[in-house]
Structure 1
Amino acid sequence: MKLENIKSELNKLKNNNNLRSLKSYPNNLLNLSSNDYMGLAEDNILRKEFYLKYSNLPLSSSSSRLITGNFPLIEELEKKLKDIYGKSALTFNSGFDGNCCIIETFCNKDTLVLSDKLNHASIHDGIIHSGAKLHRYRHLDLDHLESLILKYKDEFSDIFVISETIYSMDGDSVDLEKLINLKKKYNFTLMIDEAHSYGVYSYGMAYELNLVEFIDFLIIPLGKGGGSIGAYLLTDKILKEYIINKGRKFIYTTALPPINIAWNLFLLEKMNSFQVPRNNLNELILYTHNLIKEFNLTTFSTSHIISILVGSNEKIDIICKNLIEKGFLVYPVKEPTVPKGTSRIRIGLNPNISQNDIYNFLKELKYELNSIL
C-alpha cells in the first residue's frame, strides 16, 4: 500500500472511533480485562515455588525443535500430556500458531470447512491460507451445522468442522456432547479450541466430559486460564508426525524457551490441585450473573467471560474512560470486532476479584449507562 492510502485508512478508523493504540495503566486499578481466569499468572506463592524447583533455566531455546530446540523438558511435558489425555501431544508457541498450523496442514482446496461464525481470527486465517471451501454455520447452532453437512456430504469427502468450547466475546458455550454425537453420525474431522475453558474446567471441557477420544484435533492455548504462553495439541500419533514433517508454523519456528516449558509443566502437574480457586471462581460467576439480572443489564454470557452490551463505539469509549477514572480497568470491544450496535464491555472473572468488587463495578456501570444517552 502507498503511504497516502495507509494514512487514509488510519484516518477512517479514527473517525469511526475504531483506531487501536497501545496503552499502559497504573497498577492500582481493579483489572477486569485480564484473561487470567484462574489467577495463576499472578500467584506469587506459585511463582516462588516454581523458581525454587527450576532456578537456572535458559531464557531462549535458540532453535527450532527440529534442530537443537527439542530439549528434554519439552519431551517430558508432552509425555505428561499423553499420560493425562491418552493422545499424542505437540507443543506450539501460541494458540494462534497452533490453530493456523493445523488447518493449513490438513485442509486444502478439496476440503469443506464448516466453522462456527464466531470462531477466533486464528481459525479464520488458517482456513483462508489453506485454500479450503468455507461455510460458516450460525453461532452455536448445531442444527444449522447438520443441515450444511447433509447438503454437502456427497460433494465433499473431506469435511472439517471447527468449534470453540467457550467463546471469548459472548462468554457462551458449545453443546460439546451434541457436537460429538454429530461427529459419530457423519464421521467428519473435528477440531476443538479450548482457549477459554482450560483451567476453569481443570484439564478442559472435553476432558471433564470424557470426550477427548472423539476429537481429532484438540488445541489448548495457555494464555488465559492456563496462566502462561504456548499451546498444546492433542491428536493421534500419525497426525502429530505429519505436522512435524509438514506443518510450516511448527517447522520454521524457534521453540519456546526452557523456562516457559518448565512453567507449563509445573502448572500442568498441579492443575487438579487448584480446586479451591476453581470453587471460588464458580461462586463469583453465580453471584455476578444474578447481580446482572438484578441491575437489568444485557449479556449473552453463561460463563466467567461476561460481555455487557452498551451499543455504539462512541458511547462505549466514554463509559470505559469514566470507569477507568473510577478505578475499574475495563476494555471496550467495538465494531467491527463485534456486529454493529453491539459494542460491549467484556470482563473476565477470576478468584482474586471479590463479590464486593463486582457489586461496586456493576453499580458504577449501571450509573454510566443511565447517564450517557
Structure 2
Amino acid sequence: MKIEEIKNQLEKKKLENNLRTLKIFKEEDLNLSSNDYLGIGQDKKLKEEFLEKYRDKILFSSSSSRLITGNYKIIRDLEERLNKIYGKSSLVMNSGFSANKTIIETFYNKNSLIITDRLNHSSIYAGILESGAKVVRYRHLDIAHLETVLEKYKKDYDDILVVTETVYSMDGDIAPIKKIVDLKKKYKFNLMVDEAHSYGVFGYGIAYEENLLKDIDFLTIPLGKGGGSIGSYIICDEIYREYLINFGREIIYTTSLPPVNALWNLFILEKMEEFSDRRKKLWELIDFSKEKIKELEINAICDSQIMALIIGDNKKADIISKNLRDKGYVVYSIKSPTVAKGTERIRVGLNPNISKEEIFNFLKEFKNELNSIF
C-alpha cells in the first residue's frame, strides 16, 4: 500500500468513529474487560505457589521449534496429562489463533466444503482463506439452517467440515453442541469445536462436561481466557496429531512456547477441579447481574460470563465507555463492523473477583450515562 492510501484508510476509520488505539489502564480501576474469567491469571497466591513448586525449573525461552529442541520434557508432560484427561491425543500450540488456523489450512483444500457459524472467530476464517476451500456460513446458532446447508451440499462434497465455537465472545451465547453432534451422525462430516470462552468456566470445557469428545474431530482449547495463560491445546486422534506435526506450517516453523508457560499451563490444568468454588461464585455473579439488568431495564445480553450492554451507535458507545473509564471502570466500546450495526455495545467479562456491589454500582453508572447521552 502507498502512504496516501494508508492515510486515507486511517482517516476513514476516524470519520466512522472506529479508529483503534492501544490504551493503558490504571491497576486500581475495576477491570471489567478482562477475559480472565476465573481470576487465576492475576492470582498472587497461585503465583507464589507456582514459584515455590517450579522455581528451579523455570526457563524463559525454548529457542527453537518443537521439531528441533523446543519439544522439551515439560511440554510432553503437559500433553501426557491432557491425553489422560481427554482420552485422545493432544498437541500444544502457541495460541488459539494458531491452532484454529493451522488445523483448517492443513487438512482442508479446494476440494473441501467448510460450513461455519457466521460469527466464528477471525482465526477460523483465516484458516479457511488459506485452505482455498469453498465456504458456506450458516446463521448464528441456527441448527435448522445448518441442516439445510448440509442437505443442499451433501451430494457435492465428501470432505465437509463444520466449525463452531461453544461460547461466543461478543454475546456470550452458547452453541447447542449436542444438536450439532446429532447432525454429524446423520450427515457424516468432520466437526471442529473452539472452547476459547468455555474452558475453565465449564471446567475442562463444554465438550468434556457433556461427554461429546468422541464425536469431535478437532477440539481447540485456547488458554488466554479462563485458562489464565497463553497457548492452546488441540485435542484430536493420534493420526491427526502426527499429520499436523509433519504438515502444519506453524508447528514446523514457529519457536515453541517457553517452558515457563508450559509449566504454568500444567500447574493450572492439574488444579482445574479445585476451582469449583470460583466457578460457583462466578455463576452466582452472573445470575445477580441478570437480575439487576432486568431491574434497571437495561438492553443487554447476559447468558454466561460475558455481558453485552447494548448502546446501538459507534460514537455514543465511545463516549459512554470513555466516561465510565473516567469513573474508574475499565471498559471499552465494541463497534460495528466487529458487531452488527445497531448492536454496538460495551462488553463486560465477569469473574469471581468482582463483587455483587461493584457490578451493581457499575450497572447503575452505565444506566445513568445511557440516560444522559440520549
Tell me which interval the TM-score lies in, with the shorter structure as reference length.
Answer: over 0.9
* Counterpart check, 1:323 vs 2:324: yes
Code of the residue aligned with 1:183 in structure 2: it is K
Residue 4 (structure 1) aligns with: 4
Distance of 1:300 and 1:251 partners within structure 2:
41
Q: Is the 8 A contact 1:167 1:173 kept in 2?
A: yes
Which stretch shows the higher mean deviation, 336-345 or 132-141?
336-345
Residue 17 (structure 1) aligns with: 17
Residue 175 (structure 2) aligns with: 174
**Structure 2: where are the runs of 5+ without partners?**
none
Corresponding residue SS for 2:270: helix
Deviation of 1:86 after TM superposition, in Å, equals 0.1
Distance of 1:292 and 1:95 partners within structure 2:
32
- Following TM superposition, the consecutive aligned residue runs of length 4 or more in structure 1 with deviations greater than 4 angstroms are none
* Counterpart check, 1:194 vs 2:195: yes
Corresponding residue SS for 1:65: coil
Deviations 1:193-234 (A, max 9, x none): 000000000100000111111100000000000000000000
Q: Is the 8 A contact 1:170 1:299 kept in 2?
A: no
Corresponding residue SS for 2:55: coil
Distance of 1:206 and 1:289 partners within structure 2:
25
Deviation of 1:249 after TM superposition, in Å, equals 1.1
Q: Is the 8 A contact 1:114 1:160 kept in 2?
A: yes
Q: RMSD over aligned Cα, in angstroms?
A: 0.7
Q: Is the 8 A contact 2:286 2:302 kept in 1?
A: no
Deviation of 1:300 after TM superposition, in Å, equals 3.1
Corresponding residue SS for 2:300: coil
Code of the residue aligned with 2:189 in structure 1: it is F
Corresponding residue SS for 2:333: strand
Residue 26 (structure 1) aligns with: 26
Code of the residue aligned with 1:8 in structure 2: it is N
Deviation of 1:301 after TM superposition, in Å, equals 3.2
Q: State how many pairs are aligned.
A: 373
Distance of 2:229 and 2:27 partners within structure 1:
20
Q: Is the 8 A contact 1:95 1:195 kept in 2?
A: yes
* Counterpart check, 1:158 vs 2:159: yes
Distance of 1:96 and 1:171 partners within structure 2:
19
Deviation of 1:13 after TM superposition, in Å, equals 0.4
Code of the residue aligned with 1:285 in structure 2: it is I
Alignment of 1:82-161 (within 5 A): 82-161=83-162
Deviation of 1:141 after TM superposition, in Å, equals 0.3
Residue 313 (structure 1) aligns with: 314
Residue 253 (structure 2) aligns with: 252
Distance of 2:318 and 2:109 partners within structure 1:
41
> What percentage of residue pairs aligned between the two structures are identical?
58
Deviation of 1:331 after TM superposition, in Å, equals 1.0
Corresponding residue SS for 1:190: strand
Distance of 1:255 and 1:173 partners within structure 2:
32
Deviation of 1:26 after TM superposition, in Å, equals 1.1
Distance of 1:179 and 1:286 partners within structure 2:
27
Distance of 1:278 and 1:300 partners within structure 2:
20
Q: Is the 8 A contact 2:300 2:307 kept in 1?
A: yes
Alignment of 1:294-309 (within 5 A): 294-309=295-310
Deviations 1:260-290 (A, max 9, x none): 0000000000000111111100100110011
Residue 270 (structure 1) aligns with: 271
TM-score normalized by the length of structure 2: 0.99
Q: Is the 8 A contact 1:170 1:306 kept in 2?
A: yes
Distance of 1:290 and 1:156 partners within structure 2:
47
